[in-house]
Structure 1
Amino acid sequence: MMSTPVIGDRYWRGFGFGLIVAFLAFLAWKTSGEPWCAPSAPSWLPWAEPEEHCVRERISALAGWGAVIVALPTVRMLAKQIRDADQFHKQTIAMAMEKQLILASRTRRRVNNEQRRIDRIKANIANMNASAGSTGHPTMLTQATAKMVVKLAENFDERDFDEFENITFVGATYLRSVRKALGAAQQIASPASKTSGGTTLSARDLNRIDNAVTRAQTHAKRLEEHAKRYLKRWEG
């Protein structure tokens, strides 16, 4: 909540009151020996009448400068109130955006976890391709790699990704197409994830898994970039 500067306000109110008192005292001293109104010296024009010089005219002339001096503390207090109101407005927005900030932070954290999983899957696929190419044997999808592919597909179905893309534009169809590709890869990898020895795969099926994981990797990087940018905008 916005704090009320009690001590500062008292000080500046006292300062303004002191200026007023000092100004009035100066006028009283300056005009103490003069009559309220006095005629000017006779004019050399025969038809001109003497003018009056009154203390009230001097007071009226100095009133503008006095108002400026007295208004300075008020201007200072108004400027501080504007700064406080701006800070309060920012805090209100931050409170309203708390849910979105938590969502963006959670999305970034989950994307980082999935990127590490993707790196391991990509490394295993590269090793499988190298082994099959050197031995001439069919490609073997291990149970551990198959489980990671299944888990990757499940995690990309999390609602957090949908909710985050609702508050910031990441792409119109990217997530949908990535989920579709991962769903197909999950179907291929699912039998191997339940077999301790793994299963053999055709080059076509392994390529489909590799392509799906690559698309997930690209979208994960895109999500991470948008999450960082969103957090920097509201927290920085």
Structure 2
Amino acid sequence: MAHGLVKICGLSNDATLEAAIAAGAGMIGLVFFEKSPRHVSLETAARLADRARGRTEIVALTVNADDATIEAIMDRVRPDWLQLHGSETPERCVELKARYGVRIMKALGIREADDIATALPYVSHVDRLLFDAKPPKGADLPGGNGASFDWALLQGLDHGVPLMLSGGLDPRTVADAIRIGGIGDVDVSSGVERARGEKDEDLIHVFVAAARQGATDRPAGDRTLPG
């Protein structure tokens, strides 16, 4: 079975970017959210994106960003994907996809079974859905909190937009998450950090290897949302 896609999110320097690419990450994420310890300036993001371009897919993560912010990111960084990690509507996804010709990944918070249904309005309007753990009450960040959810809630999803799993993943848990949830594509941020906002090159390599093994071992058949 083909290896699953791994995204290393919240990169901020050359060394960890190179580690992610060398490990085989299919996507790297650059965070544009000032409350996040992983936030990068446009200048840094543009430099990292230029270094990564053509070697892996570049994802720009935003949270309810206004038009001026999106415009600047698209102009300076030129990402392959926009990851919308706030309360953006399906209409906003359609608008940004049409305006910039960019692929859209919509992140949705999951805590219980009913949360899965919140994804349905997005299915025909985005290129990928990312299921992340809902943040703890009072948290400043919509993701990257190291929180997890019951991966079994994702079992049985089929036929539709590609899915990605995030939330509380690390080298020890990712294979189980893939096996239980049935989703082979995964996204990690805090799970490969030595300190908050500080990625660890060795952990990146170990995580990608564990995710690949998990994707190889999982039952056949991708899990996607019904259209």
TM-score normalised by L of structure 1: 0.18
Structure with higher Rg: it is 1
- Whichever structure has more helix as a proportion of its residues is 1
- Whichever structure has more strand as a proportion of its residues is 2
TM-score normalised by L of structure 2: 0.19
